[in-house]
A = this chain, B = another copy of it.
Amino acid sequence: TQPAFASNWLMLQGTEAEHQAPRAKLWGFIHTEYQSTGNTKLKAGPFAGTEAAFNQIAPQLESSQTFNIRRARIGVRGNNFPLDSKVNYFLLAEFGNNGITTGGDASRGQLTDASVTLNHIPGARVRIGMFKTPGAEEGLQAAPVFNYVNFTNVTDRLLMERSFDNSTGNTGRNGPVGAFRDTGVQVFDAFKHNDWELSYAVMFGNGSGTSLTDNDNHQDVYLYGSAEKIFGNSKGPRRHGLKMFAWMQNGKRTLNDVGDVDRKRSGLGTTYFDGKYRVAAEYITADGMIYGGTSGAGTPDNGATFSVQPDEKAKGYYLDLGYRVIPNLELNLRYDFLDSGTEIAANHREFQTTTLGAQYFFNKKTAIRFNYEMRSIDAPDLASTHPVHQILDSIDDRISAQLSIVF
């Protein structure tokens, strides 16, 4: 059994029973990728004729096609056994090339997780340090078992937090992306009741993502609850079951030019997997600060700058279907929709992506994924003569392949 990858993500780290965790288990994973778009140039706007940011590959945005080591994580996990089976720890650092290792003072070797869990109080485990915040499934689930190469628009733009000094005119992020993480204290546990597993989590944190320290004396609060019906004696990385969950988080951010702004997020969702069919759906809302992309959809190399919308609203959802043709081959279909910047007409954008996918599992720890993303962005509140429509029409479909290994 591999309880470390049980699909109750809250319980996957720091709660190993004594016979399951050695003093120091070396572990990690590699995601090596190739992505490509048609590199259609911007058809209008201040950067007309130059590369479109949305047709370049993140995080450098310098090429429309590239091989990349998207993730290369090395970590150590374990408990103090035989000294003390009630104390667990979890360490993980990122050596790949993505939003965690770029921006501001971020670098290769960026720490993504460092926590200690104290399992002394029945019903109230305490986790202290930096770790994934209790929240949306797409962010909370373990990256090695993510079924697609790229995140949905709603997760990427509402939950994958980018931090900037100002609301506009930023030449780049001032630090690593949040990566669905924060540094703080979480009280949590899961309870079995017949076939059902009920979980809760409450967390207080800096609200500083993977940057480790607070920069404004404001703290974030996180709440999470879930209920999962487990099918049979299913265990392991891809447990069979039906799960429902809801969550919210509430914090403040400080921008040099605007001052303190709110950042609220909430959501609910469900996952289902019976070994042959897999279904996942989430609905997510945002209130307060929202990522705004680059000016005119240009690239930083061509002089475009990044913005955030300090006080906006957004909502979105996705529906993800999986079908195992044979045990080693899963076909995937995902539709995601994001309605962002709904309060101000100039901000309002509708992002839609339909993703066709296939995953082949060489074994339980090695998989190759192919994705084809059909992408569109609309600006529904702007006149049809506005150049934004031509800019957004420049967006290409994107193909990607990923080889994933866990060790």
Contact = CB atoms under 8 A, between A and B. Distances in A.
Interface string A4-47: 00000000000000000001101110101000000100000000
B91 A111 contact: no
Contacts of A329: none
Contact of A205 (B57, B67, B69): B67
A276 interface: no
Contacts of A184: 67
A252 to B, nearest CB: 12
A212 B93 contact: no
B362 A76 contact: no
A192 interface: no
Contact of A63 (B63, B87, B214): B214
A407 to B, nearest CB: 5
Contacts of A106: 108
Given A80-B363, A83-B365, A363-B80, A405 B116 contact: yes
B62 A116 contact: no
B215 A62 contact: yes
A128 B403 contact: yes
B67 A407 contact: no
Interface in A60-79: 60, 62-69, 72, 74, 76, 78
A108 B105 CA distance: 9
Contacts of A109: 93, 95, 107-110
B130 A217 contact: no
Interface string A261-298: 00000000000000000000000000000000000000
A97 interface: yes
A89 interface: yes
Nearest to A82: B363
Nearest to A217: B63
B64 A217 contact: yes
A128 B369 CA distance: 14
A363 B28 contact: no
Nearest to A184: B67
A62 B205 CA distance: 16
Given A205-B67, A217-B65, A95 B72 contact: no
Given A128-B403, A214-B62, A76 B74 contact: yes
A119 to B, nearest CB: 11
Interface of A: 23-24, 26-28, 30, 32, 39, 57, 60, 62-69, 72, 74, 76, 78, 80, 83-84, 86-87, 89, 91, 93, 95-97, 102, 105-111, 114-116, 118, 128-130, 183-185, 205-206, 208, 212-217, 362-366, 403, 405, 407
Given A32-B130, A74-B93, A107-B107, 20 more contacts: A30-B89, A32-B114, A57-B213, A62-B213, A62-B214, A63-B213, A64-B217, A67-B183, A67-B184, A67-B206, A68-B183, A69-B111, A69-B183, A74-B76, A74-B91, A80-B405, A96-B111, A102-B105, A105-B107, A116-B366
29 contacts: A28-B91, A30-B115, A39-B217, A60-B215, A63-B214, A65-B214, A66-B206, A66-B214, A67-B205, A69-B111, A69-B114, A69-B129, A69-B130, A80-B363, A80-B366, A84-B362, A86-B362, A87-B362, A87-B363, A91-B95, A95-B111, A96-B114, A102-B105, A106-B108, A108-B109, A108-B110, A109-B109, A118-B362, A129-B403
